[in-house]
Amino acid sequence: MTMVSKFIEAIKCFRQNTISPAKPTYDVFAVKFDPSVVTETVKADIRKNVGLIECIPPEYFDRIYDAAVQAEIAGGDLHALSTAILHLNIDGMTKKRAKRVALTLNSKATAVITRERQQRLGITEAIWLYSGAPCDIDPKKPQGNQDASHKAANGKRFRVAEGMFLDGKWTWPGNEDGCRCVSRSVIPALDDGRYNKL
């Protein structure tokens, strides 16, 4: 095997291992997760998102933030996070809601982790992939046009640094409440067709 073909094989493996429209990206990280991907940017984003959760008194923010960071360091441990939130005994917190909060925090953190990872690898473009499941927190109570616009974004390219302009704002797969979209990195060596005949 030549150096070039080894390189191509490595990239193909990378793609297969890291990009799958059917699975949320945290599955990927659960296989072999590097805790250092939970950078200061990721933590700052988690802190911001904890503050955006509705109907949770501010005195719980620090503990939810700590639990969310730990869950991400553990590779996106949704069960641990929802259990930790439930055990805070916040007024009105149900098991179902704790799960939703955990899912939202994890999904948004994963969006930042993915973006930073793509940028570290020099990947500048990615393709938006709609998961097939509705992009709403509760599909019975749709959040405006979000699901339709995310479905329409499926297969479209976007710049990793900027995201895609949807519903009046720049965003990334997994970044909005209830969004289940993921992305596939565009790897020029594979996507321009130059190795199609190998």
On whether the CB atoms of residues 132 and 23 are closer than 8 A, the answer is no
At 165, phi and psi to the nearest 5? -85, 105
Q: Return the range that interacts with Zn ion (CB under 5 A); candidates 2-10, 98-106, 148-156, 186-194.
A: 148-156
CA dist., res. 75 & res. 35, Å (int): 7
Closest CB 123 distance from Zn ion, rounded Å: 20
Closest CB 37 distance from Zn ion, rounded Å: 22
Beta bridge partners of 171: 164
Number of residues that make up the chain: 198
Among 38, 101, 112, 135, binds Zn ion (CB under 5 A): 135
Q: Return the range that interacts with Zn ion (CB under 5 A); candidates 16-24, 96-104, 154-162, 175-183.
A: 175-183
Q: Choose among 112, 134, 115, 131: nearest CA to 123.
A: 115
179 binding Zn ion? (CB under 5 A): yes
129 binding Zn ion? (CB under 5 A): no
Q: Which is nearer to Zn ion, 164 or 181 (CB)?
A: 181
On whether the CB atoms of residues 110 and 181 are closer than 8 A, the answer is no
Which residues are near Zn ion by CB under 5 A? 135, 150, 179, 181
